């Protein structure tokens, strides 16, 4: 129930009760009093008329009596009829006895009688019939008009009070309610009604004080909260840094042990493998005419010896990276020699997109051949059912000092960027970047296959040591490639889209100008 209803419903009920009282009790009482007063007034008037009639009756001036009574009837509209009788009961006035039509028997009709006496003698008797209905009706109408006016004034006052209540109480309270809601939602910049000198003004002033206090406390809490969050973030960063440092330390320690072990094992196994390889050579010579089964088994032995040698080579490369011996190398020559070192199956089509005027690279050609050979071998192995292998180069201009956009391009040579996306199948994984000298131009050599691609989960582990998806791999190839690229001032990027293929690129520094 609203404040307006609470305040005005009792007043409205009071007005209704007042109206009912006026209608039911007051008007009938007023009418009764008016009728009584009217009857008394007429009686007194009739007495005066009787007094005035005495000399006329004594002087037998019947015409004057007629004139007076006619005049009285004419002037008093509510006097219905007058009848004058002599002491013997003979009708003196009016000229003819009025019939039933001349008399009224309405609710306001009354008959008054008055004797005309002189000393002790009765001269005549007057019988006056009056009808107070019109007068009472007039009084009733006047009373009703008064009541209507009173009710209208009361309703107007009620309406005016309603407007005043709205303006002075309800509107400020509504504004305070809105302000409270905004305050609850943390908004302290609400406008408040201008406080007056009444209770609502006190409430507004109190609310403003409360708002200011809450604002002050909230600001202090926010500041404390921010400080706490900052401390937590700093602590979390410190913990992350500490955790990363510990992980790096553990990894470095493991890699160091792995490197030492790999170097030792590789060195020890290289000689027996060389002996086995020589022995295999002689067996092939001896059994040059052997049956196919023998040749097949010898082939298997040879392949496994080569595989083992490659594993040992990876182990040794991982254990210690030889400092590069950089020379100027033509990009096309590097690509051609790398392809020649790889056994490309017939079901794999190789396309090369290397411009004749491609720039020269300042690199160790053997190390970079090892990197490209690894890219090509991985691509071929990713397409056991056949496919196409595309090798392309392109110039990546050097970085101008302060050119952030250019820097971003170098940092994200792959279009997809380093993130892994589950919505789309394309995933890129740039390997950790080596510091890139300013104003230095690069040549990107990219090897793209149409194999099955690499899953996002595996892309994240692609450059981690000992991670491999191959049944005969030991997971050191790409790690070695990354180390070699870094040692030659370049870096490696990888992209893959599951079901469509993968793309590996190495960015290497140019040597001088164009050839």
Partner 1 sequence: MKRWSCALLRFGIAVALLTGAAPTAYPAESYTFGVVPQYDQRQLHAIWQPILGELRRRTGLSFKLAGMPTIPAFEKELLKGGYDFAYMNPYHLLKPSSSGSYLPLVRDAGNLRGILVLPRESAIKSPSELDGKTVAFPAPNAIGASMMIRADLARKFKVKVSPLYVKTHDSVYLHVVKGLADAGGGVEKTLEEQEKPIRDALRILYLSREFPSHPIAAHPKVARPVAEKVRRAFLEMAADQGGQALLARIPMKKPVAASAQDYLLMRKFDLEAFWVEE
Please report, as residue ranges, which positions from 426 to 445 form the binding site for partner 1 (by CB under 8 A): none
What pairing do the DSSP bridges indicate for beta strands 387-396 and 348-353?
parallel
Measured CA to CA, the distance from residue 303 to residue 309 in angstroms comes to 10
Q: Let me know the angle formed at the C-alpha of 315 by 310 and 321, rounded to the nearest 5 degrees.
A: 110
Which residue number, 71 or 156, has a Cβ lying nearer to partner 1? 71
Would you count residue 467 as binding partner 1 (CB under 8 A)? no
Q: Between 67 and 299, whose beta carbon lies closer to partner 1?
A: 67
- Rounded to a whole number of angstroms, the minimum distance from the CB of residue 113 to partner 1 is 20
Closer by beta carbon to partner 1, 63 or else 457 = 63
Told to check if 121 binds partner 1 by CB under 8 A, we report: no
Identify the residue among 10, 67, 196, 272 touching partner 1 (CB under 8 A).
Answer: 67
Minimum separation from the CB atom of position 61 to partner 1 (A): 5
Q: How far is the CB of 111 from partner 1 (least distance, A)?
A: 22
Q: Which stretch binds partner 1 (CB under 8 A): 30-38, 62-70, 129-137, 406-414?
A: 62-70
Taking the least distance from each CB to partner 1, the nearer of 6 and 60 is 60
Does position 60 interact with partner 1 (CB under 8 A)? The reply is: yes
Query: Does 75 engage in binding with partner 1 (CB under 8 A)?
Result: no
CA distance 427 to 414: 10
Binding mask 302-341 for partner 1 (x = CB under 8 A): ----------------------------------------
Minimum Å gap between C-beta 97 and partner 1 is 11
Residue 166 sits in the site that holds partner 1 (CB under 8 A): no
The stretch near partner 1 (CB under 8 A) out of 58-66, 127-135, 298-306, 363-371 is: 58-66
Strand, coil or helix: what is 208?
helix
Work out which of 1, 2, 63, 457 binds partner 1, going by CB under 8 A.
63
**What is the rounded distance in angstroms from the CA atom of residue 161 to the CA atom of residue 167?**
10
State which residue, 127 or 440, has the beta carbon closest to partner 1: 127
How many other CB atoms are there within 10 angstroms of residue 29's CB atom? 10
Give the range of 85-93, 257-265, 307-315, 341-349 binding partner 1 by CB under 8 A: 85-93
Burial 136-173 (b: 16+ CB within 10 A, else e): beebbeebeeebeeeeeebeeebeeeeeeeeebbbebe
How many residues sit in the footprint of partner 1 (CB under 8 A)? Answer: 14
Instruction: Please say whether the beta carbons of 489 and 509 come within 8 A.
Output: yes
Site for partner 1, residues 86 to 115, rule: CB under 8 A: 86, 90-92, 95-96
Strands 121-131 and 109-118: what pairing? antiparallel
Euclidean distance between CA atoms 13 and 19, whole angstroms? 10
Contacts for 272-279 with beta carbons within 8 Å, 24 or more apart? 273/305, 273/308, 273/309, 273/312, 276/301, 276/305, 277/302, 277/305, 277/309
Q: Is 85 in the site for partner 1 (CB under 8 A)?
A: no
Which is closer to partner 1, CB of 95 or CB of 343? Answer: 95
Cβ neighbour number for residue 297 with a 10 Å cutoff: 13
In Å, how far from its chain's centre is CA 466?
48
Sign (positive or negative) of CA dihedral 184, 188, 190, 196: positive
Residue 449 has a CB neighbour count (10 Å cut-off) of 25
We find the least distance from the C-beta atom of residue 48 to partner 1, in angstroms, to be 17
- 442-449 and 426-430 as β-strands: parallel, antiparallel, unpaired? unpaired
**Least separation in angstroms between CB 63 and partner 1:** 3
Q: Which residues within the stretch 363-392 sit at the binding site for partner 1 (CB under 8 A)? A: none
- 368, burial (CB in 10 Å: exposed 0-12, middle 13-18, buried 19+): buried
CB nearer partner 1, residue 67 or residue 384: 67
Residue 127, by phi and psi: left (phi above 0), alpha (psi -120 to 50) or beta? beta
End-to-end Cα separation, the chain, in angstroms? 93
491, 437 contact by CB (below 8 A): no
Cβ distance 244 to 454 under 8 Å? no
- CB nearer to partner 1: give 68 or 294: 68
Shortest CB 116 distance to partner 1, Å: 15
Q: How far is the CB of 107 from partner 1 (least distance, A)?
A: 32
Q: Are 328 and 475 in contact (CB under 8 A)?
A: no
Judged by CB under 8 A, the stretch of 57-65, 162-170, 281-289, 295-303 that binds partner 1 is 57-65
Q: Is 73 in the site for partner 1 (CB under 8 A)?
A: no
Least CB distance to partner 1 at residue 149 (A): 43
Q: How far is the CB of 80 from partner 1 (least distance, A)?
A: 20
**The one among 8, 66, 188, 467 contacting partner 1 by CB under 8 A:** 66
Cα 143 to Cα 112: distance, rounded to the nearest angstrom: 27
Residues that bind partner 1 (CB under 8 A): 59-64, 66-67, 86, 90-92, 95-96
């Amino acid at each position: 129930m609203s404040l307006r209803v609470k305040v005005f419903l009792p007043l409205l009920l009071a007005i209704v009760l007042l109206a009912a009282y006026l209608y039911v009790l007051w008007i009938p009482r007023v009418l009764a009093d008016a009728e009584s007063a009217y009857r008394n007034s007429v009686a007194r008037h009739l007495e005066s008329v009787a007094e005035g009639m005495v000399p006329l009756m004594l002087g037998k001036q019947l015409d004057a009596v007629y004139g007076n009574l006619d005049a009285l009837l004419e002037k008093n509209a509510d006097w219905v009829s007058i009848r004058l009788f002599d002491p013997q009961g003979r009708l003196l006035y009016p000229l003819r006895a009025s019939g039933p039509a001349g008399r009224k028997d309405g609710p306001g009709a009354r008959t008054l009688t008055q004797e005309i006496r002189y000393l002790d003698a009765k001269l005549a008797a007057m019988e006056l019939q009056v009808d107070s209905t019109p007068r009472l009706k007039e009084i009733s109408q006047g009373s009703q008009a008064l009541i209507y006016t009173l009710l209208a004034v009361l309703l107007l006052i009620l309406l005016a009070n309603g407007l005043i209540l709205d303006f002075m109480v309800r509107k400020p309270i509504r504004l305070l309610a809105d302000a409270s809601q905004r305050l609850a939602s943390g908004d302290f910049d609400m406008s408040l009604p201008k406080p007056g000198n009444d209770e609502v003004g006190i409430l507004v002033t109190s609310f403003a004080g409360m708002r200011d206090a809450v604002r002050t406390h909230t600001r202090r809490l926010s500041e404390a909260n921010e400080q706490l969050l900052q401390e937590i973030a700093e602590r979390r960063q410190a913990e992350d840094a500490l955790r990363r440092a510990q992980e790096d330390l553990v990894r470095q320690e493991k890699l160091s042990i792995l490197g030492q072990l790999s170097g030792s094992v590789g060195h020890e196994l290289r000689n027996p493998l060389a002996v086995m390889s020589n022995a295999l050579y002689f067996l092939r010579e001896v059994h040059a005419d052997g049956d196919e089964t023998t040749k097949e088994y010898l082939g298997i032995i040879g392949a496994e010896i080569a595989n083992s040698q490659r594993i040992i080579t990876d182990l040794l490369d991982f254990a210690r990276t030889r400092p590069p011996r950089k020379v100027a190398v033509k990009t096309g020559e590097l690509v051609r020699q790398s392809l020649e070192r790889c056994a490309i199956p017939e079901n794999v089509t190789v396309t090369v997109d290397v411009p004749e005027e491609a720039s020269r690279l300042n690199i160790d050609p053997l190390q970079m051949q090892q990197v490209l050979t690894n890219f090509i071998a991985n691509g071929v192995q990713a397409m056991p059912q056949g496919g196409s292998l595309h090798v392309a180069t392109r110039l990546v201009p050097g970085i101008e000092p302060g050119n952030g956009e250019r820097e971003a391009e170098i940092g994200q040579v792959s279009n997809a960027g380093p993130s892994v996306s589950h919505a789309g199948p394309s995933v890129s994984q740039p390997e950790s970047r080596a510091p890139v000298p300013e104003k230095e131009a690069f040549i990107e050599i990219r090897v793209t296959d149409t194999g099955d691609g690499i899953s996002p989960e595996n892309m994240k582990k692609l450059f981690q040591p000992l991670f491999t998806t191959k049944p005969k791999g030991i997971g050191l190839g790409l790690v070695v490639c990354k180390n070699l690229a870094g040692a030659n001032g370049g870096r490696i990027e990888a992209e893959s889209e599951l079901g469509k293929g993968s793309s590996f690129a190495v960015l290497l520094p140019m040597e001088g100008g164009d050839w």
